[in-house]
Amino acid sequence: MPKSYRVAILGATGAVGTELIDLLATRNFPLESLKLLASPRSAGRTLSFRGETLPVEPVAEGCFNQVDVVLASAGGSTSKTWAPKAVAAGAVVIDNSSAFRMVPEVPLVVPEVNPEAAATHQGIIANPNCTTILMTVAVWPLHQVQPVERLIAATYQSASGAGARAMEEVKIQAQQILNGQDPKPELFPYPLAFNLFPHNSPLNDQGYCQEEMKMVNETRKIFSAHDLRVSATCVRVPVLRAHSEAINLEFKQPFPVEKAREVLQTAPGVKLVEDWSTNYFPMPMEATGKDEVLVGRIRQDLSHPCGLELWLCGDQIRKGAALNAVQIAELLVEKDWVKPREVALSQ
């Protein structure tokens, strides 16, 4: 088995794509080669990787030949078109869009939670929604000690969830407001600077938006707990990068706060951040650029003897997207769950 792999990033010029490039370098992923792919309008650009200048190529027929792993972050319609072609060319696709998450045959993976699911892939592995990733990293260790019976989430989602242009839009709006001008929304339906609004993804008949239902359905799939009671309220807030979440957990029996704190203190991918004497808990400003999900303000739910409350913050672009995808790729390499193309063809 070769010790290095040929990797392609689909959507290389976006916020998540550039983060993927950085992570492959800083985490020393075993690369033989790296191909950067994007839409035709981005073709011709160059990006830096390990001191080299790499060209951005347009995604086109044949571009996945001699590629072992594709890290895709280019949107659902692009993934639906190109992921099957990449698989047919012999690559494993780790897809960051929502296109395949709820397809029964496609594993939905958070390495700290259900790494074994990646072994069942048939060419495509789905990266969960950012809010789901951050939440499951924090909740799963507790669920292992005592199964969660009901989970209520309220999210405070940063502009980065809508991409680099959305982050820039918030900056421009903030300056417009400070200059006494009316803020002009373009990507968002309403001004986000100095404002907030419920997530603007499409609503279903029950009044839940698409983003909220992602948290419901994806958590059940990742936990293999299809009867888990989950409800979410997702809100877009004027933060540039890093999501926050208030989580309420209900168990069958009381879950002592000190026990929860002890569990989370050593949980993979979690960093406990609590100083009750100064009212210091996780903040998106401090989560930005961090790999870990910051968790704190763990307390007994006063309204329910078996309830537990916690607060978390995590970098949406990093652990909420790019890092989770790279960790899946690292898992495939470590466990030998991805075969280089020439080996696959010889079998």
**Structure pTM?**
0.94
C-alpha closest to that of 328 among 104, 171, 108, 172: 108
Q: Which residues pair with 308 in a beta bridge?
A: 249, 300
pLDDT of residue 124: 97
293 is in an annotated binding site: no
The CA–CA distances, whole Å, from 60 to 43, 57, 125, 236 equal 11, 9, 21, 35
Domains of the chain are 5-127+322-335 (3.40.50.720), 132-158+196-314 (3.30.360.10)
220, 208 Cβ separation under 8 angstroms:
no
C-alpha closest to that of 123 among 339, 300, 343: 339
13 is in an annotated binding site: yes
pLDDT of residue 44: 83
Q: Which residues have a catalytic role annotated?
A: 130, 243
266 is in an annotated binding site: no
pLDDT of residue 314: 98
Q: How far apart are CA 68 and CA 123, in angstroms?
A: 10
42 is in an annotated binding site: yes
Average pLDDT, 10 consecutive residues per value, the chain (347 residues): 85 95 97 95 90 95 96 95 96 97 97 97 97 98 98 98 94 98 96 97 97 98 97 98 98 98 98 98 98 98 98 97 98 85 35
pLDDT of residue 214: 98
Which DSSP symbol is given to 101? T
Dihedral, CA atoms, 270, 276, 278, 279, nearest 10 degrees? 70
pLDDT of residue 346: 32
347 is in an annotated binding site: no
Count CB-CB contacts under 10 A for residue 215.
Answer: 25
